[in-house]
């Protein structure tokens, strides 16, 4: 009982990014754990899904065919437990996503395993698994161990762990699990796509974000144009989205997107609350502009200017004219 079981997330026949990140996290720790990485595919057509997860470091793919293709928390919970009896993992990994959160805690409770959610780092110390998560509204990071827990179940934060790049040909096997007793307990009516986003904050290398400092919706187009002229992706803090001024896809932070690939981040009129920092404080170069010299954004900024953002916009626009 030493292996790592990674649960695949997929939608409409496509594997979700979080799955690759889980595999990346599992592969990064497998040697220290002396573990194999076993990837569990629960799907109507698991063969097709399996083609997308043949990464270097994956030791085995286990397919469980079921009659439906959407995510069902009860079925996943049961199948992870039943497949786990054969696989006997030491660590079970799911995404910290709507799907993962819907069944991971139940799996942990039924197994009596250790459990931690929203993990953004993990390592081995003296042969013990240590994971890191935030607490107290992201004000502190906690390192957690799992004393006397044979099995540990985790949900891992997205856009955090490196995705494997090399492919391989791991062995694939099928386990048949009878879930007829659970079929129809919950009824899936339909799946509704969120409106397509015009931008992807997580992939942008240069982001110009605005916060409540822009004061009025009328000022938004001016800063959007500035971002466009500078070649930046236009981001924002949460109040801008909550006010309905920009779509959610633009929001940087804990309940928005993480600026994972960003190299340069402009924060204009953003105070720098921990929830906002959550999505950007790791960025290599952060330039903050705020009229308040005590704004917390200056604690994470590489360069800071105590300046009115409208004066800055005047100067930049004059320079572009
Ligand atoms: C569970 C939870 C999740 C959250 N998730 C997120 C998230 O994902 N992303 C996020 O951003 N927030 C998030 N928040 C909200 C967060 O706590 C803050 O309320 C929010 O980030 C504040 O946004 P802001 O900096 O734009 O506004 P404010 O905090 O009001 O800051 C505005 C700043 O603009 C400055 N300013 C004003 N006028 C000017 C001017 N003319 N020139 C220059 N500077 C000026 C002010 O000095 C101030 O510092 C979350 C909160 C909770 C509880």
Ranges of the chain with pLDDT below 70 = 1, 137-139, 320-321
Q: Are residues 24 and 86 in the same domain?
A: yes
Per residue in 8-55, pLDDT (tens digit) is: 999 999 999 999 999 999 999 999 999 999 999 999 999 999 999 999
Among 182, 214, 233, which residue terminates a domain? 182
- Span from the CA of 277 to the centroid of ligand 1 (angstroms): 10
Residue 116: closest CA among 140, 135, 98: 135
Pair 20, 75 in one domain: yes
Q: Is the CB of 201 under 6 A from ligand 1?
A: no
Say yes or no: CB of residue 237 within 6 Å of ligand 1: yes
Q: Is 256 in the pocket of ligand 1 (CB under 6 A)?
A: yes
**Inside any domain, residue 195:** no
Rounded to the nearest 10 degrees, how much is the dihedral formed by the CA atoms of 242, 243, 245, 247? 20
Domain boundary among 182, 211, 227: 182
**Range(s) of the domain holding residue 263:** 201-320
Q: How many domains does the chain have?
A: 2
53 part of a folded domain: yes
Q: Is 290 in the pocket of ligand 1 (CB under 6 A)?
A: yes
| Ligand 1 atom index nearest CA of 239 | 23
Pocket test for ligand 1, best of 247, 248, 270, 272 (most atoms within 8 A of CB): 270
Distance of alpha carbon 80 from alpha carbon 39, whole angstroms: 11
Tokens of 240: 């801008």
Q: How far apart are CA 140 and CA 318, in angstroms?
A: 43
Q: Nearest residue CA, atom 51 of ligand 1?
A: 275
pTM above 0.75, yes or no: no
167 and 101 in a common domain? yes
Average pLDDT of the chain to the nearest whole number: 94
Q: What is the pLDDT of residue 251?
A: 97
Distance CA 233, CA 77 (A): 39
Same domain, 223 and 176: no
Tell me if 259 CB under 6 Å of ligand 1.
Answer: no
- For residue 126, the domain's CATH number is 3.40.50.620
**Cβ–ligand 1 contact at 297 (below 6 Å):** no
- Please report how the helices 309-320 and 220-230 are oriented relative to each other, as an axis angle in degrees rounded to 10: 50
| Rounded Cα gap, residues 263 and 252, in angstroms | 14
Mark whether 29 and 138 lie in a shared domain: yes
Q: What is the largest CA-CA distance in the chain?
A: 69
Q: What is the pLDDT of residue 137?
A: 62
- Cβ proximity of 103 and 80 under 8 Å: yes
In this structure, the answer to whether residues 97 and 171 fall within a common structural domain is yes
Confirm whether 92 is domain-assigned: yes
Whether residues 8 and 134 fall in one domain: yes
- Please give the distance, rounded to the nearest whole angstrom, from the Cα atom of residue 82 to the centre of ligand 1: 46
In tens, the pLDDT along 66-113 reads 999 899 999 999 999 999 999 999 999 999 999 999 999 999 999 999
Of all helices (H) and strands (E), which one includes residue 52? none
């Amino acid at each position: 009982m030493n292996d790592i079981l990674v649960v695949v997330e997929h939608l409409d026949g496509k594997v979700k990014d979080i799955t690759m990140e889980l595999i990346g996290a599992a592969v990064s720790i497998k040697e220290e754990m002396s573990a194999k990485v076993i990837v569990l595919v629960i799907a109507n057509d698991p063969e097709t899904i399996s083609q997308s997860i043949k990464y270097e470091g994956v030791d085995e793919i286990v397919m469980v065919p079921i009659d439906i293709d959407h995510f069902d928390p009860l079925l996943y919970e049961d199948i992870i437990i039943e497949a786990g009896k054969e696989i006997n993992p030491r660590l079970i990994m799911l995404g910290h996503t709507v799907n993962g959160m819907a069944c991971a805690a139940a799996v942990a409770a039924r197994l009596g395993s250790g459990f931690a959610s929203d993990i953004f780092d993990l390592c081995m110390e003296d042969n013990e698994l240590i994971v890191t998560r935030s607490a107290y509204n992201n004000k502190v990071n906690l390192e957690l161990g799992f004393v006397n827990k044979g099995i540990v179940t985790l949900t891992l934060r997205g856009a955090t762990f490196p995705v494997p790049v090399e492919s391989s040909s791991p062995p694939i096997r099928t386990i048949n699990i009878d879930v007829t007793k659970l079929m129809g307990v919950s009824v899936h009516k339909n799946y509704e796509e969120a409106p397509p986003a015009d931008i992807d904050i997580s992939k942008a290398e240069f982001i110009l974000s605005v916060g409540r400092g822009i004061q009025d919706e009328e000022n938004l187009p001016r800063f959007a144009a500035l971002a466009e002229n500078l070649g930046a992706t236009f981001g924002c803090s949460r109040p801008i989205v909550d006010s309905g001024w920009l779509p959610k896809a633009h929001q940087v932070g804990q309940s928005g997107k993480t600026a994972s690939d960003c190299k340069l981040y402009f924060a204009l009129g953003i105070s720098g609350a921990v929830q906002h920092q959550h999505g950007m404080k790791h960025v290599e170069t952060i330039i903050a502009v705020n009229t308040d010299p005590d704004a917390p954004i200056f604690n994470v900024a590489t360069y800071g200017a105590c300046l009115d953002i409208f004066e800055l916009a005047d100067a930049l626009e004059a320079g572009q004219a």
